[in-house]
Structure 1
Amino acid sequence: MARSRVVAAAAACATVAAGSVLIVSGTASAGTISGTLYRDPSTAVARWVESNSGDSRAAVIRDKIASQPATRWLSNFNISAVGSEVAGYVGAANAAGQIPALTVYGITNRDCGGASSGGAPDLGQYQTWIGNIARNLGNRTVVINLEPDSIALLTCLNSSEIAARSQALRTATQILKAANPNAKVYLDGGHSAWNSAGEQASRLVAAGVADADGFYTNASNFQPTSAEAAYGRSIISSLNGQGVSGKRQVIDTSRNGGASGDWCGDDNTDRRIGQYPTVNTGDANIDGYLWIKPPGEADGCRYAAGSFQPDLAYSLASTAPNPPSSSPASSPSSPSSSPSTSPSSSPSPSAPFPTGACGATLRAVSTWNGGYQGEVKVQAGNGTPSGWTVSWTLPAGSSISQVWNGTLTTSGSTVSVRNVSWNGNLPADGSTTFGFIATGTAGTPALTCTSP
């Protein structure tokens, strides 16, 4: 039976090259979500585009995939780290006045031991992990797709294990909704070519959909949107018949614009990206068309599950229609709508071409109460064949909790970020960026860049 096998995208990635196109959803009609979906600047596709601007596929991948909001996956089971990851992501989205979307993927025995096996060692630790996520959701609208395959795929579980999983999902939903009443929580609805609508509805009821906002379908699958919408209406009708009303659907349209059929997208070049992400669905039963599975990330057949593959991305995007509307973005971190809070400091003036190995400039991309997202541009002078290191002194009360596209070390108030493997060797006049989440205020520190 066709189903999904996915692992989350890496959280530590780079931004899209300047001049990219940013497409976001407009004000909702129908459904229950209103606003603009947040496009995370830290994605695998964004990193690839920035590092491969000369690739003949880059423009298509940039304009049709990297420009779009996709969900952030929480799939690495790390109880101590997940809270700061969620806080950084949600905080950046809130500062931009946009809606973050998370896919939570850490249930015990996930994927029945398939290509995306893993998750919490036991359901007790799973609830602790969920609690750390919940405490960092803020109080604004956030979309949560809870545990793909956890309800539609039960073949590896016995009856007592199914009951325990259903209870775990019910408890997780209650924890998330209690922590942030504005959170929109959706449970796994499978897809239209899997379980019957009646069977899926019964499983949803057992898993606590009465406490959720609804269910999502087609996660990492390829069934047409029309088939998914009809399937969703049938599930809603069955839920109503079981005394659960007012539930709505979210549909994953990331890869359903071409062929359907076998579940694995790695091996089928007839897949296409589907409808671009939006909460403006025009359908009272449907809260959003989301890209739950980021296009270009493998399912685990020909490539490692979750790895970004440019040939897959290009195949999905090459013959897809252009986004319905677009507006130039001077930087992928600059949302089309103004942030709710202005940056605490203006972007640093462009540095002159460095006379030595490299130079660096810092800007605050977005700010929120008690924190900010920073971006540092590393500009090569005569080149950095052995890599680069950027150092500066943090303002009093500031600390860095997360870095992407670099490796952080700290010594008192001095921080240093060294390149990672793929962005260290800059040619003369080349450049790259790294980003970070910090507490406190950005200030205007002096940055030094050195190369061994």
Structure 2
Amino acid sequence: MTQTTPRARPSLRRRVLGLVALAVAVTALAAGCTATQKAPVTIRTESTKTIFAGGLYRQRDSVAHNAAMALEAEGKTTAAAAANEIAKTPVAIWLGDNYSTKQVGPFITKNLEAAKKQGTTPVFVTYAIPNRDCGDFSAGGFSAAEYPVWMKAVTSALKGHRAVVIVEPDSLAMLSNCPSQADTRLPLIRQSVEELAAAKIPAYLDAGNSHWVQPTVMSERLKKAGIQYARGFFTNVASFYPVDDERSYAEKVSKLTGDSHYVIDVSRNGQGWKGTWCNPEGTGLGQDPHVSAGTTGLDALLWIKSPGASDGTCNGGPKAGAWFASYAEALVHNRRA
């Protein structure tokens, strides 16, 4: 057997240096463990100041602004003044099937560039889901094959920019009216939300309003639609319920969906519910939209529905989405003080 030479004992200096190196390594490892244990910042955990950095973008050529210009050209000064009053306030920008897959990207980009100059955050609304509105006044939308392609164009235009997306108003709440759409609609929305999340775009999903679908039912629909990938959900779009009603309902839905954040549409709730959802008389503009402090689940009160745009051919209104001048005047007149 070959005899080995015994190892020389290390000098005192080398032992001290070794102990120091070991201490440094242990400290670094501990720091690394702490860093990995800390939850990463995600779309769901960002502050409201980050999500809506700089405040809300006001589109210069908004629906209300364009209506005001047309009314002025017709000499309808009172109606034009009401439209101009509405145009002073930031309102979400709707993206529907009136913008083709080729058109939607440039339109988004134009507003992103304008928002960047303002230093504000634009809020976009997608509204082109197949069988939109279950065939009612706002019927339309793309086919199940076309919709994902269109949404990829939307997401591609938004990627790398500051923006918020309101995903398909009424799409989940209205499954109570057309449940046969669930098998098509839920996967399409989920795919859209996952792609928006991958592009780091905060999205909010449809949760109806406080007097429509029960929180337990709505929370299950939101989970199937991918709420875990989104910032949260929205309520009261194109509806009229008071903020207190909506917050009470939203907090229940939030708890059932992993403490999701939410936003509330206050564009036309200044006088509360008036007995019908379609161009009701006596309604008024709600409080000015603003971002919350972020101490609760409420991220912001927004004007999502364009005040003055008709709900449909009911109560004397034109087709859904068209400017309803007399209704806009009433909204301004009845504005919440």
Q: TM-score range, shorter-chain basis?
A: 0.7 to 0.9
Q: Deviations over 1:175-217 (max 9, x none)?
A: 12222x1x21000010000001111111101111011000000
Q: Matched residue of 2:119: which SS?
A: coil
Give the conservation status (yes or no) of the 8 Å contact 1:145–1:185.
yes
- Given candidates 320, 324, 349, the residue that maps to 2:335 is 320
Q: What's the counterpart of residue 285 of structure 1?
A: 297
Amino acid at match of 2:334: T
Shift of 1:238: 1.8
Question: CA–CA distance in 2 between the matches of 1:108 and 1:246?
Answer: 29
Q: In the superposition, relative to structure 1, how do residues 111 and 319 fare at CA in structure 2: closer, same or farther (>3 Å)?
A: closer
Q: CA RMSD in A?
A: 2.1
Aligned to 2:104: 82
User: Match of 2:20?
Assistant: none
Matches within 5 A, 1:129-168: 129-155=150-176, 157-158=178-179, 161-168=181-188
Tell me, yes or no, if structure 1 residue 296 matches structure 2 residue 318: no
Q: How does 1:30-429 map to 2 (within 5 A)?
A: 33-53=52-72, 55-63=77-85, 65-76=86-97, 78-121=100-143, 123-155=144-176, 157-158=178-179, 161-179=181-199, 181=200, 183-239=201-257, 245-266=258-279, 268-280=280-292, 283-300=295-312, 301=314, 302-321=317-336
1:261 & 1:281 partners in 2: Cα distance?
30
Q: Residues 392-415 of structure 1: CA distance to partner in whole angstroms, max 9, x if unpaired?
A: xxxxxxxxxxxxxxxxxxxxxxxx
Q: Which has the higher contact order (CA 8 A, sep 6+)?
A: 1
Assess if the C-alpha contact under 8 Å between 2:167 and 2:206 holds in 1.
yes
Aligned mates of 1:286, 1:99 — CA distance in 2: 17
Deviation, 1:269, is 2.2
- Give per-residue Cα distances to partners, 1:155-176, cap 9 Å, x unaligned: 45455x4133111111000112
**Deviation larger for 54-63 or 72-81:** 54-63
Per-residue CA distance 1:418-439 (angstroms, 9 max, x = gap) = xxxxxxxxxxxxxxxxxxxxxx
Q: Tell me, yes or no, if the aligned pair for 1:296 and 1:313 is still in contact at 8 Å.
A: yes
CA distance in 2, matches of 1:59, 1:158: 43
Partner secondary structure for residue 175 of structure 2: coil
Residues 42 and 30 (structure 1 numbering): CA distance in 2 closer, same or farther, change over 3 Å? closer
User: Identity over the aligned pairs, expressed in percent?
Assistant: 31
For residues 200 and 217 of structure 1, the distance between their equivalents in structure 2, rounded to whole angstroms, comes to: 11
Count of residues in correspondence between the two structures: 284
Instruction: Kindly provide the CA deviation profile for residues 309-343 of structure 1, in whole angstroms up to 9, marking residues without a partner as x.
Output: 22111101113256xxxxxxxxxxxxxxxxxxxxx
CA distance in 1 between partners of 2:283 and 2:177 (Å): 29
CA distance in 1, matches of 2:118, 2:131: 36
Q: Which of the pair has more CA radius of gyration?
A: 2
Q: 1:188 to 1:321 in 2, by over 3 A?
A: closer
Given the two structures, how large is their TM-score scaled by the length of structure 2?
A: 0.79
When residues 50 and 156 of structure 1 are mapped into structure 2, their CA distance, relative to the original with a 3 A threshold, is closer
Spell out, residue by residue over 1:282-303, the C-alpha distance to the aligned partner (whole angstroms, 9 max, x if none): 6521111111101000000232
Q: Where is the helix percentage greater, Structure 1 or Structure 2?
A: 2
Tell me the CA shift for residue 138 of structure 1: 4.0
Structure 2 residue identity aligned to 1:133: V
Partners of 1:94 and 1:263 lie apart in 2 by 39
Q: Cα distance, 1:31 vs. partner?
A: 9.2
Task: Tell me the secondary structure at the aligned position of residue 81 of structure 1.
Answer: helix
The verdict on how the C-alpha distance between 1:287 and 1:298 changes in structure 2, with shifts beyond 3 A counting, is same
Summarize the Cα distance change of 1:263–1:248 in structure 2 as closer, same or farther, 3 Å threshold: farther
Segments of 5+ residues of structure 1 without an aligned counterpart are 1-27, 240-244, 323-452
Q: 8 Å contact 1:106–1:147 — kept in the other structure?
A: yes
Which letter does structure 1 place at the counterpart of 2:262? Q
The letter for the 2-side match of 1:150 is S
**Contact 1:130-1:176 within 8 A present in 2 as well:** no
Counterpart CA distance in 2 for 1:316 and 1:94 is 30
Cα pair distance change 1:261/1:199, threshold 3 Å: farther
Alpha-carbon distance in structure 2 between the residues aligned to 1:252 and 1:213: 16
Residue 40 (structure 2) aligns with: none
More strand, by proportion: 1
Instruction: Provide the C-alpha distance between the structure 1 equivalents of 2:179 and 2:90, rounded to a whole number of angstroms.
Output: 38
Q: Answer yes or no: is the 8 Å Cα contact 1:256–1:271 preserved in 2.
A: yes
Question: In the TM superposition, what whole-angstrom CA distance separates every residue of 1:319-378 from its partner, at most 9, and x where no partner exists?
Answer: 3256xxxxxxxxxxxxxxxxxxxxxxxxxxxxxxxxxxxxxxxxxxxxxxxxxxxxxxxx
Question: Which residue in 1 is equivalent to 2:38?
Answer: none
